[in-house]
Structure formats: structure tokens, C-alpha cells
A = this chain, B = another copy of it.
Amino acid sequence: MTETLTLGKALNLGLRRAMEDDPKVVLMGEDIGKLGGVFRITDGLQKDFGEDRVIDTPLAESGIVGTAVGLALRGYRPVVEIQFDGFVYPAYDQIVCQVAKMHYRSKGKVRLPMVIRIPFGGGIGAVEHHSESPEAYFAHTAGLKVVACSNPADAYWMIQQAIASDDPIIFLEPKRRYWEKGEVSRDSATIDLHTAKVVREGTDATVLAYGPMVRTALDAATAAEEDGRSLEVIDLRTLSPLDMEPVYASVRKTGRAVVVHEAPGNLGLGSELAARITEQCFYSLEAPVLRVTGYDTPYPAARLEEEYLPDLDRVLDGVDRTFGW
């Protein structure tokens, strides 16, 4: 049986279930206790699991991640909430030099089963630092795995799979989709964490997206249909490692690919996808892989973000351009 949940509520229930399943799971972050987090993703969890397992921390991201590493060394499974994407950088040193490398450094003797949850992306009319898409900074870092959920069902299962994994995982949550509803079956996960998923089949061109842009890509596909164009949409879900086989299969079929993300184009995920697709599907491509992304500027003031972020029209424009070749 399934039920209708918002993406935020699905995460909340996924966290709750992970804490029920394993007493070693602890949550850490700013304002995650009584307040339940600024997005209420941890709502009610401190009340039910206590201050020892849902830990309001001092206001210091490096301290949060660094002490989480220590808790992991002690046998805990810390799940860290970074309040907003733009506030993860004080912890960047601990993430890149410690979280990502300690297993390697110790020749496998140490495992850090940590999840770092980051609400990411724009579209909520926020002030500076609250709308960023830092995924490339993490995906470029060997030793980290990076995933992004795009819908309530994935949110519910992916967070549990990430917590159950012994790999250190950056878990990206599309904050502007927290309130979007979807059907969730709580019986069992249907697909592995590190797999991409074809979320709409099509024949003319492949649109690759993840997190908040999956909905945008699907809307574009619906609109394209009216123009008589059939778009295949793939939700990448796992950003590092990438799950490329479904992507190659799709592009070999369609011959055209457009990557969509909010992050700036320069050295964004789109560049890596374009490079790999071109290398593996060179003779199948009718046009170069095109990218529809945020611009190569800092994230602008809120009243400009609608113009900054890829939307349905820009995705369709990108698709049109691949047909222009």
C-alpha cells in the first residue's frame, strides 16, 4: 500500500525509520532539535529519540562534521544536517581531507559511515548563500559518494539506504521541492542507491537531470510532446559515482542529449556527462551534448533567480538547439 507524502515528510519518516532500525544512528546539526530544523525535516525526532540521539550542536560546521567523524570512529552512524548549501564550506576541509580520505589513509581499517544532508538549490526567494548547488565540489572529491533525491519515494528510501551504507555520503535534498507531494510505498526499496532511473521514456532526445530539475525536465517533456517531440528523461540520482549505462543506452537510442542543472555550467556535472557521453557514444551523437544550467555568476538576488534558474522554456530551447545541428 502507498500513501501520499511531501518530500520533506518522506525524509522525516525515512530518518525516523533509520533511527528505529539502528540505535547507533545519531542526528547532528543546528536547530534540528526542538525546532525540527529550519525545514522541519527532523520534526519530532528529538522528542521521541532524546537529546542524545538528536543533537543540537554549537554553531560551527567544521566542528559538527569533525566531531561526527569522531563519533563514527566510536561506532556511531552520524547523520549531519547542514542548514543550507551555502553554509557547508566551513566544513569543507573536514569533508575533503578527513571524511573523504580516512578510509583510504587507513588502508581500509577505518570506516566512516556518515551522511551529510544538504538542502540545495534555489527557487525559494531566499537571501544570499541559501540557494546554491555545490554538488560538483563534492563529486570531484574521490572518497565521497554524492546522491540527490528528486521525489518523495526516493527521498524516503534513499536516505535510509545512505544511512545504511558504510560509505561517506553527501545527501542532497532539493529544498524547493520539500513541499511537493508524491506516492510513497513504505514496504521495500525497489532500486539501489547508486543507480540512475529512466523516469520518462522517449525517442527523440535524452534529458538528464537530478534533484530539483527532474520535475522541470518532466514538465518540459510533457510540453515537448505537444510539439510532437518525444523526450526521454533520466533522473541521475547518484552524482558520484555516476551510473552511466542507462545514460549511454538512452543516448545511443536518441542520438541527442541535454543536461540540466542549477549549478553554474562551468565545471558542473554537465561537463563531465558531456565528456563521458561523447567518449562512449561518439558515433551515435547527432549533435553535441548541450547544457542548460545556472549562469557562471554568483547566485543572484532573489528577484533575479527566476531568470537565473533553468526552467521549462530553457530546457525546451536546449532541446531545440540539439535539433539545430
Contact = CB atoms under 8 A, between A and B. Distances in A.
B128 A101 contact: yes
B282 A287 contact: yes
B137 A140 contact: yes
Interface residues of A, number: 45
A101 to B, nearest CB: 5
Contact of A97 (B97, B129, B270): B129
Task: Indicate how many identical chains form the complex.
Answer: 2
Interface stretch (A1-9, A39-47, A261-269, A309-317): A261-269
Nearest to A274: B275
A62 B266 CA distance: 25
Interface string A258-302: 000001101111111011001100100001111100011110000
Nearest to A143: B298
A132 to B, nearest CB: 9
Given A100-B298, A297-B142, A267 B278 contact: no
A93 B90 contact: yes
A291 B275 contact: yes
Interface string A83-107: 0001001101100110011001100
Contacts of A264: 140, 142
Nearest to A139: B267
Nearest to A62: B90
A291 B96 CA distance: 23
A271 B271 CA distance: 5
A112 to B, nearest CB: 13
Contacts of A89: 92-93, 96-97
A99 to B, nearest CB: 11
A269 B267 contact: yes
A223 interface: no
A297 B140 contact: no
B267 A272 contact: yes
A226 B62 CA distance: 53
A291 B100 CA distance: 24
A131 interface: no
Contacts of A291: 275
When A and B form their complex, which 7 residue pairs have the shortest distance between CB atoms, in order from nearest? A89-B93, A274-B275, A140-B267, A92-B92, A271-B275, A271-B272, A271-B271
Given A140-B267, A142-B266, A275-B288, 20 more contacts: A89-B92, A101-B128, A104-B297, A104-B298, A139-B267, A140-B140, A140-B268, A142-B296, A142-B297, A142-B298, A143-B298, A267-B267, A267-B269, A267-B272, A271-B275, A274-B274, A274-B275, A275-B278, A278-B278, A279-B290
Interface of A: 62, 86, 89-90, 92-93, 96-97, 100-101, 104-105, 128-129, 136-137, 139-140, 142-143, 240, 263-264, 266-272, 274-275, 278-279, 282, 287-291, 295-298, 325
